[in-house]
Structure 1
Amino acid sequence: MSASDTTTDRGRPAQRQAEIAEYVLQHGSVSATELAELFHVSLMTIHRDLDELERQGVVRKFRGGVSAQPSSVFESNVSYRLRASRQEKLALARRARELIEPGMAVMLDDSTSTLELARLLHDAAPLTVITNFLETIKLLSGVRGIRLLSLGGEYFA
């Protein structure tokens, strides 16, 4: 990824932070100066972004730079995962939804890509959804016509 590879509005902190996090994950570690140059912002802005990403548990700051947190910490951060590659996830979810018909049973894993799909299932009833993702369970609990099964058993709202 380079500055010319993205066309998003880097002026928006949340979007810029998501791109910074992806860049750090791809490269393992990077200097704050390199990030400031790449994202065309001041070093102070980068430090504020890195402080926020560290607070979220996505990265670990060290003197002059930042590194990715271990995978287990990063992967558990649903709020970050929801923002990462959002347009791609939405496109995948829309395409997958076209394949789902009433009466089917679908299994959704604990990815945020399938969470985007779950948001589109309200009109697919009757439907059985099997998942191990609490966020999906919370989203679909109480939706009329959707039978919800978690890997530990049936979920009753």
Structure 2
Amino acid sequence: MKSSVYSKVREFKNKYPLTIAWRLKAHCKVIEKHLNEDEQVLYAFAAQKNTKQGEIFTTYVVALTNKRIMLGQKRVFFGYFFISITPDLFNDLKVKMGIIWGKVFIDTVKEMVILSNIPKAALPEIETTIIKYMMEEKKKYFQQKSEKNI
């Protein structure tokens, strides 16, 4: 399943060619490194993780797996950045659309993740996919938690 990260990101980039993204293979390897054996990638896309539209060199690959949301960026020289958002830490998702690109705000218990320079045509797909999955997983999580308390 690990090779599917890059293929899903390429599929997204081909579907939305205005996506600004660099070094996709390197960023996908970060995600693949942190994939667990029982995880499978359901959806993946590339975006800039920043607050300003003009910053175009902060590409992250975002992967939605059957367990969590994963964000990965390979640094140019040494190391990488990796963020994992599990359903219990997920609070909300907000979308802002501009003339050409938009932003997705993922609100978690710990931080606000801002993904920018996403083509406006891709915003509904990203929002629907993430929200639908996270709400289902949150239901399961809280149902399991309430069953333990009974």
Q: TM-score range by the shorter chain?
A: under 0.3
Higher relative contact order (CA 8 A, sep 6+): 2
Structure (1 or 2) with the larger CA radius of gyration: 1
If the length of structure 2 is used for normalisation, what is the TM-score? Answer: 0.24
Higher helix residue share = 1
Higher strand residue share = 2
